[in-house]
Structure 1
Amino acid sequence: MERTAAAPMNGRKAQAARNDELIRQAARAVFTADPGAPISAVAEHAGVGISALYRRYRSKEVLLRSLADEGMDRYLAEVERALADDGDPWAAFAAFMRRCLDIGAGSLTMRLAGSFEVTEEMSAKGRDLHGATERLLDRTKRAGALRAGIEVGDVSVLLEHLHTIRIGDEARTNRLRHRYLALLLDALHLTDGSELPGPPPGRQELRGRYDG
């Protein structure tokens, strides 16, 4: 009897989890295309009722902050995965960049900047992200595999700009983004390249865009 009684609750939880994932996927698509879109557009895109959305996210700002926070977590996981790779440093870095492109790292940064209040927890996480990425770049440089002068801000901005490519359908867009990432990786691997003009953006410059 206990197992039978628990089944409906598990079913409701499973449905809630499915709805949440639909909402988050829809929100990423909607707000990447138009950061000013109303939250009702997310519910429509997800195919769920607006009440279901508000039960999970009480406002658009809360939803945006949650998406940004999730993106930071996913990015940090990829940096840590790259740092744990004790194989060829350049291969680990290049694979890291390709994975970041696939998970959408940087895709919402420019679009959502200034749309929500940054919490202290997010600021702390941002410092962790910066430090981990810095360690990855330093290791790749020590191996003589990364162009001089490349810093964390460069990685962030390059990923952001790759995600602005939108040509054709989803599959075509993905292929083009990886095409141009391949070209960028060649440039990053050019260890005898000329000095780059101007310094890279610093952490405070990048963070400052979220302050609105």
Structure 2
Amino acid sequence: MSRRTAPVQPAGSPPRTRPLRADAERNRQRIIAAAQEVFARRGLEVTLDDIAHHAGVGVGTVYRRFADREALIEAVFDSEIQRVVTLAEQALSHEDAWEGLVQFLTLTGRDFAEDRGLKEVLLEGAHAQNRVATTRERLTPALSALIARAQQEGSLRNDIEATDVPLLQLMIGAAAHHTLAVTPDLWQRYLALVLDGLRARREAPSPLPHRALTQEEFDQAVPKTLPPRSVADRTGDR
């Protein structure tokens, strides 16, 4: 009986990627689901040990599927941060510019209130830098156009800039985080106050005591909003 030999891969061709076995894929999906829950509740500074424990697998299994925590963060939030861009584009297509802006701030406010990890990855910019930078490149033009439309129709005060919006979202997200265990929907109260302050009126609004950040200043400021990780956090990833 002749032995079958494996087919020879042509020289110079890219290596073939073998699909994951069914059990390996189940573990991968279990890890992602566990990470979504842990990141949403506790933020991104948890360790891979925490996620492995929540998933019911060994930390070695996590490292076999994901090279490090950044790779896991990107896998978890890839679709979520793209969804924020879609929300901005949908708001821009709204017939009423003010209602489009309210829709965007309300839907993203709920997302950030319910998912601490999403707030941190998108608004605080301490993780998944390449993915977040790409998202901002798509988000900023839509958001700038949305603001310009609302100002042109006279519903939004004229001194608001695109860089104001993510910082306002960060403020509302912080309120949501601190009150989540007591009253999960309190963030809506502060969103209403923010919207009231954004709305243009016949009488002149109170002048703002400081100019808005430039885009360059915003990019410099945002990654510094998270405190440095402790030694215990860093060693927990090993």
Global fold match (TM > 0.5): yes
Question: In structure 2, do the counterparts of structure 1 residues 128 and 71 end up closer, same or farther at CA, with 3 Å as the change threshold?
Answer: same
C-alpha distance 180-93 of structure 1, shift in aligned 2 (>3 A): same
Match of 1:17 in 2: 29
- 1:186–1:65 distance in 2 versus 1, CA, 3 Å: same
Task: Kindly indicate whether residue 54 of structure 2 is the aligned counterpart of residue 40 of structure 1.
Answer: no
| Offset, 1:49 | 3.8
The CA distance in 1 between the partners of 2:90 and 2:144, in whole Å, is 14
How far the C-alpha of 1:27 sits from its partner, in A, is 2.4
The equivalent residue for 1:92 is 100
- How far off its partner does 1:18 sit? 4.9
More helix by share: 1
In the alignment, structure 1 segments of 5+ residues that lack a partner are 1-8
Confirm or deny: 8 A CA contact 2:123 2:166 kept in the other structure.
Answer: no
Of residues 133, 151, 154, the one that matches 2:164 is 154
| Superposition RMSD in Å | 3.1
In structure 2, what is the equivalent of residue 176 of structure 1? 186
Q: In terms of Rg, which structure is larger?
A: 2
Shift of 1:168: 5.1
Match of 2:194, SS state, is: helix
What do residues 90-114 of structure 1 show as CA deviations (whole Å, max 9, x unaligned)?
1121111000111118721588544
Alignment TM-score, normalising by the size of structure 1: 0.76
Q: Note closer, same or farther for the CA distance 1:126–1:67 as it changes in structure 2 (3 Å cut).
A: farther
Q: Point out the more displaced range, 64-73 or 142-151.
A: 64-73
TM-score, structure 2 as length reference: 0.69
Aligned to 1:26: 38
Q: Secondary structure at the match of 1:148?
A: coil
Instruction: Quote the Cα distance in structure 1 between the aligned partners of 2:218 and 2:121.
Output: 9
Alignment of 1:9-158 (within 5 A): 13=25, 16-31=28-43, 35=45, 37-66=46-75, 70-86=79-95, 88-104=96-112, 107-109=119-121, 113-115=125-127, 118-119=129-130, 122-158=132-168
SS, match of residue 104 in structure 1:
helix
Deviation string, structure 1 residues 112-159 (Cα, Å, up to 9, x no partner): 54456x33x643432221111000111111110101211111110011
Contact 1:69 1:122 in 2 (8 A): no
Q: Structure 2: 5+ residue runs without aligned partners? A: 1-20, 229-238
**Residue 218 of structure 2 corresponds to which residue in structure 1?**
206
**How far apart, in 1, do the equivalents of 2:54 and 2:152 lie?**
47
Identity of aligned residues (%): 23
